[in-house]
Amino acid sequence: MKEKIIAILKSVLGADVPVELSVPDEPAFGHFSTNVAMRLAKARGKKPIELADELAREIKQRAPAELFEKVEAVAPGFINFWMSERTTQEEFTRIAKDKDFGKNESLVGKTVMIEFTDPNPFKLFHIGHLMSNTIGESFARLYEASGAKVIRANYQGDVGLHVAKAIWGMEHHGEKMSDESAGVLEKMGFLGKAYAFGSSAYESDPEAKEAIIAINEKVYSRSDAGVNELYDTGRAWSLAYFETLYQRLGTKFDEYFFESEMAKEGRDLVLAHGDIFIKSEGAVVFPGEKYGLHTRVFINSKGLPTYEAKELGLNKKKFELYPLDRSIIVTGNEIIDYFKVLLKAMELVLPEVAARTHHTPHGMLRLAGGKMSSRTGDVVTAESLLDQIKKDLRGRISEKSDLDEKEREAVTEVVAIGAIKYSILKQNPGQDIIFDFEKSLSFEGDAGPYVQYTYARLRSILRKAETLDRSSEGADMAKLDSKIELALMRKIFEFPDAVLHAREHYAPSSLVVYIYKLASLVNKFYETTPILKDEDAKRLSARLALISCAAEILKSGLGLLGIGVLEKI
């Protein structure tokens, strides 16, 4: 529908005139609206409202009969459009048959890599990683919905002081982990304690600090058999542990990059650009002040590449492996300044890579206890949060269903993951989130369980309809003429634009808003309309088509957010 209106506007204004069409928040301002008259008025020597009035009259003359109920120019220069009932019904008839409704082909032939999650081996997968994983996976699905080939990438810091601290802790912590039959969570619990123990010793014990620094060098050089064994064991445990979480969260990565593999690439890249990087106190640095940023070390005084240099090597490697049109990196807000320096250095060293690289920072996920810290060992892990959510959900779900224990466990898992993902994605990526258990687990408000439950109720209605012993000659969409039915159909029409907007603006939150509004509207529809009691067979079939279409869009929309749906809750 939007494309039809834009085509009419361009036929009036000229094919080369850019036209934007929006959906007003208030129905009183039309089903669609444009400010094109305000943008063109000065160049055409007219007042905005005069030009808007002229355009409105010409649009009505050129538009097909009965396309619009009315077209109106309003101050200071908007043109508002109201679709007719017939147009709405005909458009819905077309959409109801479109299995790919919501997708677009704007990025067909393009290749996009999205790097996200990035947990470090030897450290626990904390709730901050849930932020990156949820946002990155949603980006990936939105890009796929535009036809792009998406490569999901994960860059993991498997070398560095945190590794040395964990290995020292494995050696000196009183608790030992010698039983290879132990579960992955038990092994990671041991590694988490070892890391916290080593981190504390590094800060408070000079001898331990010196030993940890020595271990760090041995990790890089692979020169100590004992250190190698502990390193290989801890790394393998960590990667196996991460995979259990990726599977649980619905993410499957295509590429795993490791910091240990990027050292030579990054060091060579820095040393090859002596005109950009300079020597300072035995180290090689990027003089960020020269560009209004801050200086960072890329090769330390011992000749070792820092994380910054390795990140340069990583981004070079990405474009060597794939013909990328876009590379997107999702990280926390706390390294925004770091990325500004990195992207500036990349712009000078790898200009084509930098031009196609986009950094999206995200805020912190906070609980009532404040920010988590793996340094102290007081870390809130992803699985502990999900298990707590499941515990809180069990009672709520048991009140609403007749599921057996196995079914209830499966449903609770899907709803718990949906609740946390929805809470993360309803905010703009850069904002901090305080997870509120009561609001986030609600079946009656702006929350994941509410939308999932809405879908399940729609599917229940459709199942019940299959049991009706009533002949039908097919749906007559012209019978969908009530105010709520017309509003629901028009809300359905907005889905493709909501998907495209979310992708173009790196804002899954706008899709969340749309999904919630659609769920609220369809709830209102079936609560006020006696669908299954309708004696008019053709109207009943039309209403079921409306229910089915709304259900499919809720499923598709939640799917683009990485949130599952359930046939029964």
Percent of the chain with pLDDT over 90: 83
Give me the mean pLDDT over the 262-276 stretch: 95
- Can you give the pLDDT at residue 403? 79
- Can you give the pLDDT at residue 372? 47
Q: Could you give all domains of the chain from N- to C-terminal order, each with its CATH number? A: 2-83 (3.30.1360.70), 382-560 (1.10.730.10)
pLDDT at 471 over 60: no
- Can you give the pLDDT at residue 173? 83
Give me the mean pLDDT over the 235-249 stretch: 96
Confidence band for 376, pLDDT divided at 50, 70 and 90: very low
- Can you give the pLDDT at residue 302? 87
Least-confidence region, from 10-24, 202-216, 246-260: 10-24
pLDDT at 176 over 80: no
* 147 phi and psi angles, rounded to 5 deg: 95, 0
- Can you give the pLDDT at residue 468? 75
Confidence band for 174, pLDDT divided at 50, 70 and 90: confident
The larger pLDDT score, comparing residue 478 to residue 396, is at 478
Give me the mean pLDDT over the 428-456 stretch: 92
pLDDT at 398 over 80: no
pLDDT digits (tens, 9 = 90+) for 332-362: 999 999 999 999 999 999 999 999 999 999 9
pLDDT at 374 over 50: no
CA distance 423 to 445: 12
CA distance 425 to 504: 15
| Contacts of residue 50, Cβ cutoff 8 Å, sequence gap at least 6 | 41
- Can you give the pLDDT at residue 423? 96
The string over 328-357, giving b where at least 16 C-beta atoms fall within 10 Å of a residue's C-beta and e elsewhere, is bbbbbeeeeebbbbbbbbbeebbeebbebb
> Average per-residue pLDDT in the chain?
93
User: Which contacts qualify for 246-252: CB closer than 8 Å, 24 or more apart?
Assistant: 246/117, 246/133, 248/383, 248/386, 248/413, 248/417, 249/130, 249/133, 249/134, 249/137, 249/417, 249/562, 250/137, 250/417, 250/562, 250/564, 251/117, 251/133, 251/136, 251/137, 251/152, 251/562, 252/152
Percent of the chain with pLDDT over 70: 96
* 150 phi and psi angles, rounded to 5 deg: -110, 130
pLDDT at 378 over 80: no
Torsion sign, CA atoms 309, 313, 314, 315: positive
- Can you give the pLDDT at residue 485? 97
Torsion sign, CA atoms 44, 50, 54, 60: positive
- Can you give the pLDDT at residue 269? 97
pLDDT digits (tens, 9 = 90+) for 478-521: 999 999 999 999 999 999 999 999 999 999 999 999 999 999 99
